[in-house]
Chains A and B, each alone.
Chain A
């Protein structure tokens, strides 16, 4: 039990603390109002390429289809591995052709990629494809197909040489 003076002082301190708390709260709420939204933790679809689940797959070509009716759309190769057959997705066949990458039954192949589930079973999304000594990147490091984007990263001379030479722009 303190003196009256102490009680008054405590009351004043409480008021000051309360006022300060309110002021801080107002400042904080103002700051929150002006703050930009942070990037939300993105939800992941089961069909998304997951770099953390990359594996290497090695085997022999059982069949190769440039325009498979089985999703995802694009070229698919069925590979016989030591643990069974695997359906490998390679993206647009036009990209493989333009990189002079072709496959035939019986060819030994090696892929780096990641499995995704589909209603028709698992599909291995290839990021790197190797046939003999030829190695091509099918997907970027983040898993997106290079077929519709990659040529913009080529050296200018290569782009100029192979682009719409002489055609209207």
Chain B
């Protein structure tokens, strides 16, 4: 951590030093002479330590070393940043190999560079954990843990403390939790997606969920009795927005971002789940709710290893799907659709609560099946239900505005996760030019001693295919030794969000790019 902070401090010094040197040059003989036009003033840096100010809730999932092997873990909490590089407090819940713990942050430091990237250290009674972060704005960003033998990635958002009451959480919520379910000596990868109504007083109604545990599908289930949510009655609740809940028959600790988003961490050790719940649009969902082009991104595990899938489809509002395009990387085995002819259909539950099914069949590649819960008419959580697959994520409506390299030009933060033989997590920032070329910088953690990489320069290009709503090509060259190349297919959601899936046969990487202001 210290080394990384020093490195970033050095980076800031270099930037500031360069700026000072450039300004100081005006007094030398080589400076602009009388009558020449002075150079335009440098725009102020977009980001600095002041950009991280206030209280932020975070959630992440990843892999830790446990008994010599990689093991899933979840980490959800909140930190308080003082705008000057100091962490002044916070709280987190971890579900790690040795159990579930709630830990108070007693301090920490952070440093944000002008591109929005930075380093974060969070100190609790057990020591300091370290992270790379990248701000997409002053209210949210991507986060990746960079400790040796522990890697994870996720997101953080500024909290609204006014939402730290049971009353504030009222209405429908859609959730997506992923993790592992332990039954006796059997540990299974698992995904749970669903929805519920919070009644504003700690009660939960209309709870529905679908679980996929090692490929065993529950079908849609109602919540078992005893579902609830409750902010902690002590200062953990009022100060940090922490609470406890029973959702889909599982126990969780949660941290509220605001009334529209809540972060959950499972506490039924040794099982572990982590994920977010999103406020659901208050409408009666039906077939017509799914109408237009949608891009999706899901990831998880298959019986060959890691799997990542991205793609797009068009729903006609009447139960039919067209325009299905898919890139699936199943631990190095790439499947692209369309391969033959693709036809598809979808259903939306009669109860109008937003659940549904979705299936497409490629005459050569076979059938792909999913269930979903709609957050709104433009977004839903998505779970694959094919045999021996546990994979979930999101779909989002694609923009109807023209997509071009010029319209996508700008600054982005990215958060990729995946790996080859071990978990990898990447956090970075890049600037995309109107020609589609880009350059930037990233940090990544390869889950082994000496495999934490910081400030790695990257460059490459985005090549759009047709109108840009289809599978686009995105190649990233990482300037490290030995050099590494990442080949992605990109699906454009809109001018602010892109979904990526790696199509290399030697690694499985998925992630998102989010526009900075």
Interface membership of B435, Cβ < 8 A? no
Interface code B377-405, partner A: CB below 8 Å = 1, 0 otherwise? 00000000111111000000000000000
Whether B333 and A47, one on each chain, are in contact in the complex, defined by CB atoms closer than 8 angstroms, is: yes
Known: A92-B421, A94-B421. A142 touches B69 (CB 8 A): no
Whether A39 and B218, one on each chain, are in contact in the complex, defined by CB atoms closer than 8 angstroms, is: yes
Whether B221 and A151, one on each chain, are in contact in the complex, defined by CB atoms closer than 8 angstroms, is: no
Known: A34-B351, A43-B367, A140-B188. A151 touches B67 (CB 8 A): yes
- How many of B's residues come within 8 Å of A, CB to CB? 81
Interface code A133-148, partner B: CB below 8 Å = 1, 0 otherwise? 0000001111111111
Interface membership of A82, Cβ < 8 A? no
Interface membership of B357, Cβ < 8 A? yes
Which residues, 101 to 119 on B, are CB-close (under 8 Å) to A? 101, 103
Known: A40-B357, A43-B387, A153-B270. A160 touches B98 (CB 8 A): yes
**Which chain A residue shows the least CB distance to B271?**
A152
Whether A45 and B219, one on each chain, are in contact in the complex, defined by CB atoms closer than 8 angstroms, is: no
Stretch at the interface among B7-15, B179-187, B456-464, B471-479: B179-187
Measured as residues with beta carbon below 8 angstroms from the partner, the interface class of chain A is: 35 or more
Whether B71 and A151, one on each chain, are in contact in the complex, defined by CB atoms closer than 8 angstroms, is: yes
Bound-complex Cα distance A3 to B476 (A): 91
Whether B506 and A169, one on each chain, are in contact in the complex, defined by CB atoms closer than 8 angstroms, is: no
Interface membership of A12, Cβ < 8 A? no
Which residues, 99 to 152 on A, are CB-close (under 8 Å) to B? 99, 116, 118-119, 125, 139-152
In the assembled complex, the CB of B193 is this many whole angstroms from the nearest CB of chain A, namely 12
Whether B369 and A149, one on each chain, are in contact in the complex, defined by CB atoms closer than 8 angstroms, is: no
In the assembled complex, the CB of B248 is this many whole angstroms from the nearest CB of chain A, namely 13
In the assembled complex, the CB of B328 is this many whole angstroms from the nearest CB of chain A, namely 9
Residues of A close to B64: CB separation below 8 A: 163-164
Whether B333 and A71, one on each chain, are in contact in the complex, defined by CB atoms closer than 8 angstroms, is: yes
Whether B70 and A147, one on each chain, are in contact in the complex, defined by CB atoms closer than 8 angstroms, is: yes
Q: For A43, give its contact among B70, B216, B218, B366 (CB under 8 Å).
A: B366
Whether A169 and B124, one on each chain, are in contact in the complex, defined by CB atoms closer than 8 angstroms, is: yes
Residues of A close to B149: CB separation below 8 A: 164, 167
Whether A73 and B332, one on each chain, are in contact in the complex, defined by CB atoms closer than 8 angstroms, is: yes
Known: A40-B385, A47-B304, A142-B388. A94 touches B67 (CB 8 A): no
**Which chain B residue shows the least CB distance to A36?**
B220
Interface membership of A158, Cβ < 8 A? yes
**Which chain B residue shows the least CB distance to A67?**
B421
Interface membership of B127, Cβ < 8 A? yes
Bound-complex Cα distance A94 to B185 (A): 21
Residues of B close to A2: CB separation below 8 A: none
In the assembled complex, the CB of A123 is this many whole angstroms from the nearest CB of chain B, namely 8
Bound-complex Cα distance A67 to B184 (A): 32
Known: A159-B67, A168-B127. A152 touches B182 (CB 8 A): yes
Bound-complex Cα distance A72 to B332 (A): 5
Whether B71 and A169, one on each chain, are in contact in the complex, defined by CB atoms closer than 8 angstroms, is: no
In the assembled complex, the CB of A100 is this many whole angstroms from the nearest CB of chain B, namely 9
Residues of A close to B186: CB separation below 8 A: 140-141, 153
Known: A73-B506, A93-B421, A142-B215. A43 touches B68 (CB 8 A): no
Partner-B contacts on A (CB < 8 A): 32-34, 36-40, 42-49, 66-67, 69, 71-74, 89, 91-95, 98-99, 116, 118-119, 125, 139-154, 156, 158-164, 167-169
Identify 10 new A-B residue pairs, CB closer than 8 A, beyond the known A40-B219, A148-B189. Answer: A32-B350, A43-B386, A67-B420, A72-B305, A125-B303, A145-B301, A145-B304, A148-B301, A161-B67, A167-B149
| 26 A–B contacts, CB within 8 A, in A order | A37-B210, A37-B219, A37-B371, A42-B217, A43-B359, A48-B389, A49-B303, A49-B388, A71-B331, A73-B505, A74-B331, A95-B69, A140-B187, A145-B301, A145-B303, A145-B305, A147-B70, A149-B180, A152-B72, A153-B270, A154-B67, A158-B67, A164-B97, A164-B150, A167-B150, A168-B129
